[in-house]
Amino acid sequence: MPKSVMNSMIRYATYVLMGLLIAGGVFATKTVYAQQWFPGEGVEKGLLVKYRISNFDYKRGTVFDATLWFGSQDNQGNWMTDVIVEEKGQVSTGSLKLSSLTLTPLGADIPPELQPYRAPIKDSLAWLETYASKINPRPLTGSTAWGPIGAIGGGSTTVQPVGTETIHAAGKSWNAFVIGWRFSGADSRIWIADNFPLPIRAKVFAATTQQPVPVQFEFELLETRITDTPPEPPESTMELPKPPLSTSTTSAIFNVDLYWEPATIQPDEPTTLAVVIFDQQGKIVQNVRYNLKIEDAKGNVVINKEFLAKEGQGTHEVTFEETGRTHVTVTVLGELAGVGEKFTENANFEIIVVPEFPVSIAIVMASIVATMVAMTRFKKVGIQKL
């Protein structure tokens, strides 16, 4: 065989082999990156999901349960969703239109009952819509970054797949893909199941250099099923909070505890309130000024006055005339060290003044209601010690 023909055959075989290798590489790449996800993937008519959610921007992380039932779609594919929210015995219902691209709430026509919950739902369950959508699905595996997070101080960090994990939620096991990032020493994680429209679980820390870093939002799937009929909302109940209540201030610089005696507050009867202010390390703040404002159920101002707590705590005697939900705002006043700039940090509470007649019922209810101090990490101080 002539040498020129032999060389031509060798070159041809080489090109064929290279073509096969390239094609194989392409197919392999498609296999690796085929597992992609976006908010709304796998959603179908009749899907019901129930989540337990807390978001720092909503009453400093007050926990509520949200049930969503995907009932129908409009002519643009957006989901008309029945929503039930349960917060401390209070039930709110209505409908939200959720985007077909990201499952974020759409439009300004939000039922008044659901208006307070629109932002905490959007900024938790649908938080990943910033990075993934139906027209831009993102990989659940590999090293491809979903995108950066801008953070205080000019730094940034990257949201990306960080592994897999088997987790338990809604009464079953899930083979979850973990999307995560690390900032200021805190690891944020969101757990996703392939072909499920919303994350299963999340614990995300605030993008701040403040220490300790506060949790921005947290949620977990409690229930999921397919049903042809919308869920029936439970009846609202008056759940009485039990002292002490504890919450962080606006920027989580301080933690404030609120005590009261007697535990069941009645109208026209003196009630002793106590305020205790802690720093981020759980130590009582000395010589701190604060403003105490109390508004009753009708919006009447019961007290609005500034005080100096020499030992970080103060007691106040208050008499309420109106029954119902009463709002208490403790505003910590001061200056930032080395800056000379005044700041105000608010801590908000809700207590209930019960009518005289159903006191016995209220006491029973109070005995079975879990305390709202689930996130408190500090040793409490009784009023009798103040």
The answer to whether residue 365 scores a pLDDT higher than 70 is no
What is the rounded CA–CA span in Å between residue 344 and residue 355?
A: 34
First to last CA, the chain: 106
Residue 155 is predicted with a pLDDT of 54
Token pair in block for residue 59: 């009453």
Residue 29 is predicted with a pLDDT of 38
Q: Strands 215-226 and 201-205: what pairing?
A: antiparallel
pLDDT tens figures, 92-142? 999 999 999 999 999 878 889 999 999 999 999 999 999 999 999 999 999
Residue with tokens 């802690």, as numbered in its chain: 278
For every residue of 92-112, DSSP letters joined together read: EEEEEEE-TTT--B-SS---T
Token pair in block for residue 83: 């929503």
312 confidence band (pLDDT: 50, 70, 90) = confident
Least confident of 1-15, 228-242, 261-275: 1-15
pLDDT tens figures, 45-82? 999 999 999 999 998 888 999 999 999 999 999 999 99
What is the rounded CA–CA span in Å between residue 119 and residue 133?
A: 19
How many C-beta atoms lie closer than 10 Å to residue 199's C-beta?
25
The answer to whether residue 310 scores a pLDDT higher than 90 is no
Token pair in block for residue 351: 């207590």
What is the rounded CA–CA span in Å between residue 121 and residue 54?
A: 9
Residue 26 is predicted with a pLDDT of 41
For all residues of the chain together, what is the average pLDDT?
Answer: 83
The answer to whether residue 342 scores a pLDDT higher than 60 is yes
Q: 183 and 211 in contact (C-beta within 8 Å)? A: no
Pick from 92, 179, 85, 173: which is nearest to 132 by CA?
179
Instruction: Provide mean pLDDT across the span 80-87.
Output: 96
Residue 31 is predicted with a pLDDT of 37
What is the rounded CA–CA span in Å between residue 329 and residue 320?
A: 16
The answer to whether residue 382 scores a pLDDT higher than 70 is no
What is the rounded CA–CA span in Å between residue 364 and residue 38?
A: 46
Pick from 85, 71, 79: which is nearest to 107 by CA?
79
pLDDT tens figures, 371-381? 343 333 333 44
pLDDT: is 196 or 2 the higher one? 196
pLDDT: is 28 or 273 the higher one? 273
Residue spans per domain, the chain? 47-226, 245-385
Residue 239 is predicted with a pLDDT of 75
pLDDT: is 272 or 6 the higher one? 272
- Which residue stretches of 254-311 are H helix? none
Residue 236 is predicted with a pLDDT of 82
Token pair in block for residue 75: 């002519």
pLDDT: is 265 or 4 the higher one? 265
The answer to whether residue 334 scores a pLDDT higher than 70 is yes
What is the rounded CA–CA span in Å between residue 198 and residue 177?
A: 12
Does residue 268 come out as left (phi exceeding 0), alpha (psi in the -120 to 50 range) or beta? left
240 confidence band (pLDDT: 50, 70, 90) = confident
pLDDT: is 184 or 156 the higher one? 184
Residue 24 is predicted with a pLDDT of 47
- Residue 274 has φ and ψ, to the nearest 5°, of -130, 135
Residue 108 is predicted with a pLDDT of 79
Buried b (16+ CB within 10 A) or exposed e, 152-162: eeeeebebbbb
CATH topology of domain 245-385: Immunoglobulin-like (2.60.40)
Residue 59 is predicted with a pLDDT of 84
Residue 208 is predicted with a pLDDT of 82
How many C-beta atoms lie closer than 10 Å to residue 100's C-beta?
17
The answer to whether residue 25 scores a pLDDT higher than 60 is no
Give the DSSP H or E segment for 19: helix 3-32
335 confidence band (pLDDT: 50, 70, 90) = low
The answer to whether residue 230 scores a pLDDT higher than 80 is yes
Instruction: Provide mean pLDDT across the span 239-258.
Output: 88
pLDDT: is 166 or 238 the higher one? 166
